Structure 1
Amino acid sequence: MAESRWSRIVVAGIITGAVMVAVSDRGGEDAPPARAQVVPSRIDIPSLGIKAPLMKLGVTDGEVELPPYEKPEVAGWVKDTAVPGDRGAAVILGHVDTKSDPAVFYELRKMRAGQAIEVVRSDGRVAQYRVDSIEQVDKDSFPADRVYLEDGLRLITCGGKFDWDRNEYDDNVIVYATLVEPADSRA
């Protein structure tokens, strides 16, 4: 995944989403401190055979951090989005490939509506999602509002044709999933 162009698109969505969530969810009260400490630790996608560790990704110098290319098996949760299992948009990014090998979300484009995704959290709870849809969009038409403002889990990777002149993929593959079992309902 090319970092600069992709990051600019994603950072605009994160900022918009973070502001909207903060304004709509606060209602004058701060979230309990324990909730802020919970993070997602692993994503499981049984239909693709994926059990991948998750790392926290932030925004540095105005750009969204990406998982390191040296760790192609790791995906990353954008920490300025909702914790999977909680209300809001939760966003997880992963590379499609490296210079020589497939990466964690290489098969993401093969997901289908109705398939399951589970996200294991640091509090031991598991958030279960059902895939609603998958789309491949040109990076210049990235649907930031749908990704960052609507409730649910979003998995994002690169896709489409690789542009050798720009050294990046032309598109993003986005999986949209709905929470079917909140993390707080499982022990």
Structure 2
Amino acid sequence: MASSRWTRVVVAGLVTGFVMVAINRGVDRDATPARAAVVPKRLDIPSLGIEAPLMKLGVTDGRLDLPPFDRPEAAGWVKESAVPGDPGSAVILGHVDTKTDPAVFYKLKQMRAGQVIKVVRSDGKVAQYRVDSIEQVRKDRFPADKVYLEDGLRLITCGGVFDWDKNEYRDNVIVYATLVKART
């Protein structure tokens, strides 16, 4: 049990490190104030019937914040990641369910390669992505480098078997998508 706890601490540290490297990679410090003003506002996945508001999420104590369970219809953009439509890895998290109901990413595992994902931004642009692949991975084998260091949109939720002893799912479902176009 202690080994599992230390594994989580190490994984959280690695994930945070990868996020920080991705943020600082190629950032034009003079452009940062203008970029900070643009945020993603809504996630649209037509094939799944999803139109979800987006909130900003950060990193607290080396762990990614999650959307609150009392807003199951909302997803969250990791503000340390790229703004969707800009170069870099844009990461959006959402719950698969709550204790009583399905949540925003309940159907995420049904996504297929080639399907469209749109992100509406505060500057009026719509970043359109095409799904490349979907994978389900154990949380202790989370592919941080693939998620945080490669360009594209990443949608992440929980999946697999629910571990009642730990009160969490054992896996993550990750959708990888490539920017097709950003339009005004």
Give the conservation status (yes or no) of the 8 Å contact 2:47–2:116.
yes
Structure 1 partner of 2:121:
121
Q: Within the alignment, does 1:16 sit opposite 2:5 as a pair? A: no
Pairs within 5 Å for 1:11-160:
12-22=14-24, 24-26=25-27, 29-160=29-160
Name the SS of the counterpart of 2:31 in structure 1: coil
Within 2, Cα distance between the matches of 1:7 and 1:53? 31
Distance 1:144 1:26, change over 3 A: same
Give the conservation status (yes or no) of the 8 Å contact 1:11–1:59.
no
Give the conservation status (yes or no) of the 8 Å contact 2:22–2:89.
no
Give the conservation status (yes or no) of the 8 Å contact 1:43–1:52.
yes
Name the SS of the counterpart of 1:25 in structure 2: coil
Give the conservation status (yes or no) of the 8 Å contact 1:14–1:148.
no
Name the SS of the counterpart of 2:36 in structure 1: helix
Give the conservation status (yes or no) of the 8 Å contact 1:7–1:64.
no
Distance 1:65 1:20, change over 3 A: closer
Q: Deviations over 1:129-167 (max 9, x none)?
A: 000000000001000000000000000000000011111
Within 1, Cα distance between the matches of 2:61 and 2:19? 18
- Which has the larger displacement, 58-67 or 46-55? 58-67
- Which has the larger displacement, 30-39 or 89-98? 30-39
The root-mean-square deviation of aligned C-alpha atoms, in Å, is: 2.0
2:134 aligned partner, one-letter code: I
Distance 1:10 1:156, change over 3 A: farther
Deviation at residue 14 of structure 1 after TM alignment: 4.0
Give the conservation status (yes or no) of the 8 Å contact 1:112–1:134.
yes
Distance 1:143 1:160, change over 3 A: same
1:114 aligned partner, one-letter code: G
Give the conservation status (yes or no) of the 8 Å contact 2:22–2:81.
no
Identity of aligned residues (%): 69
Distance 1:17 1:64, change over 3 A: closer
2:15 aligned partner, one-letter code: G
Q: TM-score, normalised by structure 1?
A: 0.89
Within 1, Cα distance between the matches of 2:78 and 2:11? 14
Give the conservation status (yes or no) of the 8 Å contact 2:12–2:62.
no
Give the conservation status (yes or no) of the 8 Å contact 1:129–1:153.
yes
Within 2, Cα distance between the matches of 1:127 and 1:25? 20
Within 1, Cα distance between the matches of 2:107 and 2:12? 21
Residues paired across the two proteins, number:
179
Q: Deviations over 1:36-77 (max 9, x none)?
A: 210000000000000000000001233211000000000000
Give the conservation status (yes or no) of the 8 Å contact 1:8–1:64.
no
